[in-house]
Amino acid sequence: MSERTWTNWGRTSRSTPAEVVRPRSADGVARAMRRASDRGLAVRPVGSAHSFTALARTEGMLLETRGLAGLRGLDRDRGRITVGGGTTIAAAARLADRFGLAFENLGDIDRQTIAGAIATGTHGTGAAFGPIASRVVGLQLVTPAGEVLDLGEDDPLLPAARVSLGALGVVTAVTLQCVPAFGLAAEERAEPLESVVAGFGDRVAAADHVEFYWFPGTRLALTKTNTRIPLEEVGPRGSRLRRLVDDELVSNGLFELTCRAGRRAPALVPTINRIAARTVAERRYTAPSHDVFTSPRRVRFAESEWAVPLEVLPEAFEAFRSALRRRGLRVSFPVEVRAAAADDSAWLSTSFGRPTGYIAVHCYHRDVRREYFRLAERVFRGFDGRPHWGKLHTRDAADLRTRYPRFDDFLAVRRRLDPGGLLRNAHLDRVLG
């Protein structure tokens, strides 16, 4: 953030708030909310700004949550930790590890704050595992009226508050159900795309965690399969130099250069993608779970992701692939495909009520292709797709209501907790009404 302008991580949203506050406690948040109400300012909370949408955009009060970080409580007997809502996933994972605990599952980025990650339904991959929010057993919520609510796991408000888009209040603390620390045996390799797509359902059923990446215009998939193992079976990861080459030089440094080259010379994109797909090195290693689930992501991008019923994922992927081929769009970023368990813990969870397949499309942040995202949206909507709440889409409340059985129940809670619309902005007006 400059002195005047706020910008999100992906450079897809910016605004000029009238005031920025950085409270360090729930009471500080409550005071800020009351002051904003008295001044007639709307309020939007923001953490690490990793949402690609305009969720945090405001010309009113921007409430930064980074000061609401750190360990707040530990329940060793039940394997639970409580952290401030502004704690990043990376920091929360380190805190859990200190007590021999771990997140049950994670996505591949850990820079988001825990409050922001659960508010948007952030998830990893694995047929037996839901989003991070499904492991939330309690949270502290400061309402627009300045009331501090401590919601336990049996509180009737919790199914609304787990995935809330920041529309119900500011989450100042989160209690997470963890698991004993464990390791992962990772296997990465390039395989023929057609067989991977056709057999994806079987792979998901057979593996703990599986996903694949496809470089548009190629016929190869980079598959990643992670198997859960006891922590004591984790061996040495290999040389630090090799990790530096794999994770930084190739995955970030070289990729940044290829993205820039593709932007300046779009005709090179198909060739670049074919080379990238064919030169992926096969590798196997073991490491603590957090070190495998997450990877450094230093190349900025914009993203749209769609959740479809798992059983139609192969058909949906092939429909998108065909549409992309017909349009002739050239995109250097790979498409990511994952899966998750049905989740009934949160009314606005993108996997609510059904095993889910996820298809995510990305663009380099200096070359955002809106027509690419529109194409993906048009295709995946036809497969009962639900957009990720933190990623780019154009759906509105009328459409989303038909895709979430408890949508109106969530809106009823919103009206109860924020009757004056203190937390509103244009984006929430569109997606929630």
Same domain, 336 and 194: yes
Say if strands 19-21 and 61-64 run parallel, antiparallel, or are unpaired. parallel
More confident call, 330 vs 397: 397
**291 has pLDDT over 80:** yes
Q: How far apart are CA 20 and CA 32, in angstroms?
A: 10
* Mean pLDDT calculated for residue range 201-224: 94
Q: What residue numbers bound the domain in which 220 lies?
A: 182-387
Same domain, 174 and 188: no
Q: Per the domain annotation, does 152 fall within a domain?
A: yes
> Which range scores top for mean pLDDT: 2-16, 54-68, 239-253, 257-271?
54-68
Q: How far apart are CA 207 and CA 209, in angstroms?
A: 6
Q: What is the DSSP string of 241-284?
A: HHHHIIIIIIIIIIHHHHHHHHHH-GGGHHHHHHHHHHTPPPEE
The predicted structure's pLDDT at residue 300: 85
Q: Per the domain annotation, does 406 fall within a domain?
A: no
3-state secondary structure string across 187-212: EEEEEEHHHHHHCHHHHHHHCCEEEE
Question: In this structure, what token pair is assigned to residue 1?
Answer: 């953030």
Same domain, 189 and 285: yes
The CA distances from residue 206 to 110, 128, 226, 310, 371, in Å, are 26, 11, 11, 14, 36
Among 126, 130, 151, 129, smallest CA distance to 140 is for 151
The predicted structure's pLDDT at residue 68: 98
Q: Report how many domains make up the chain.
A: 3
Same domain, 188 and 253: yes
- 3-state helix, strand and coil shares in percent for the chain, rounded to the nearest 5: 35, 25, 40
pLDDT in tens, 102-158: 999 999 999 999 999 999 999 999 999 999 999 999 999 999 999 999 999 999 999
Q: Per the domain annotation, does 22 fall within a domain?
A: yes
Same domain, 338 and 198: yes
User: CATH number of the domain that 148 lies in?
Assistant: 3.30.465.10
Residue that is last in its domain, among 19, 43, 64: 64
Please report, rounded to a whole number, the percentage of residues in the chain having pLDDT higher than 90: 81
pLDDT in tens, 148-179: 999 999 999 999 999 999 999 999 999 999 99
Beta bridge partners of 151: 139
Q: Per the domain annotation, does 259 fall within a domain?
A: yes
Q: Per the domain annotation, does 146 fall within a domain?
A: yes
Mean pLDDT of the chain: 91
